[in-house]
């Protein structure tokens, strides 16, 4: 199965490859595609996703796409309400799912198999996932509580300091820490899913269904 990854940095991509290889029950290949989001990914993923899906569908033999964005200070996902309503409230997870559904509906049938898309939302940033199992406060619920009293930029920088020892990590350090964390988390996906049920849990169940 050929899986493409769309994320903000090569470090995130390296970590997501490790996680995806464990999650997806089939043999996974990662085609060498030059996909990347602009830093501060949300606005670009929101605008770019239809173009990326169409490109992968019509011009490559990729089977699946994993997209992971930071939640920053966007409203939390509410599984108790329908997607339309949750999206309207500003939930990034639901907005991206809606975008995928819209694009899916306009893709012309071809001889190729369908392209499936799984979406992850890191609350407030992927570094929170990396801390799962190390810091007992690294949970989606705890992060959402902190976002009520802290500016998301401060929280994101605090998480970076915790993971990398600095809030201005170089790419080499960022990648090595991301790979180290993902390798550890690959052995405890259930815990990561339990602690980050919306942002990671939904990604996990979507990938498992492939």
Interface with other proteins (CB under 8 A): 9, 36, 38-40, 42-44, 46, 72-74, 90, 151-153, 156-157, 160, 165-173
Beta strands in the chain (DSSP E): 3-6, 64-70, 116-122
Of 141, 120, 140, which is closest to residue 128 (Cα–Cα)?
Answer: 140
**Which residue is listed with tokens 């996974």?**
28
Q: Residue 157 CA to chain centroid, in angstroms?
A: 19
Closest distance of CB 73 from other proteins, Å: 6
Please tell me the distance from the alpha carbon of residue 38 to that of residue 8, in angstroms, as a whole number: 6
Of 26, 197, 49, which is closest to residue 120 (Cα–Cα)?
Answer: 197
Closest distance of CB 156 from other proteins, Å: 6
Closest distance of CB 37 from other proteins, Å: 10
Of 15, 4, 72, which is closest to residue 41 (Cα–Cα)?
Answer: 72
Closest distance of CB 134 from other proteins, Å: 20
- Residue closer to other proteins by CB (options 129, 164) is 164
Return phi, psi of residue 122, to 5°: -90, 120
Residue 34 burial (C-beta neighbours within 10 Å; 0-12, 13-18, 19+): exposed
Closest distance of CB 17 from other proteins, Å: 18
Closest distance of CB 170 from other proteins, Å: 5
- Residue closer to other proteins by CB (options 36, 54) is 36
- Residue closer to other proteins by CB (options 104, 167) is 167
- Residue closer to other proteins by CB (options 72, 140) is 72
- Residue closer to other proteins by CB (options 9, 98) is 9
- Residue closer to other proteins by CB (options 137, 151) is 151
**Which residue is listed with tokens 């993923």?**
45
């Amino acid at each position: 199965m050929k899986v493409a990854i769309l994320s903000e940095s090569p470090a995130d991509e390296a970590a997501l490859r490790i996680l995806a290889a464990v999650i997806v029950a089939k043999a996974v290949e990662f085609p060498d595609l030059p996909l990347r989001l602009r830093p501060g990914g949300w606005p670009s993923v929101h605008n770019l996703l239809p173009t990326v899906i169409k490109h992968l569908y019509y011009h490559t033999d990729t089977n699946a796409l994993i997209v992971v964005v930071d939640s920053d200070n966007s409203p939390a996902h509410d599984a108790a309400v329908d997607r339309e309503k949750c999206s309207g409230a500003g939930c990034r997870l639901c907005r991206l799912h809606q975008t995928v559904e819209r694009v899916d509906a306009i893709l012309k049938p071809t001889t190729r198999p369908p392209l499936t898309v799984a979406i992850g939302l890191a609350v407030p940033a992927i570094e929170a996932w990396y801390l799962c199992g190390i810091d007992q406060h690294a949970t989606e619920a705890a992060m959402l509580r902190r976002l009520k009293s802290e500016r998301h930029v401060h929280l994101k920088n605090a998480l970076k300091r915790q993971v990398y020892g600095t809030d201005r990590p170089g790419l080499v350090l960022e990648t090595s820490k991301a790979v180290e964390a993902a390798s550890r988390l690959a052995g405890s996906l259930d815990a990561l899913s339990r602690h980050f049920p919306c942002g990671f849990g939904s990604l996990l169940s979507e990938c498992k269904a492939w």
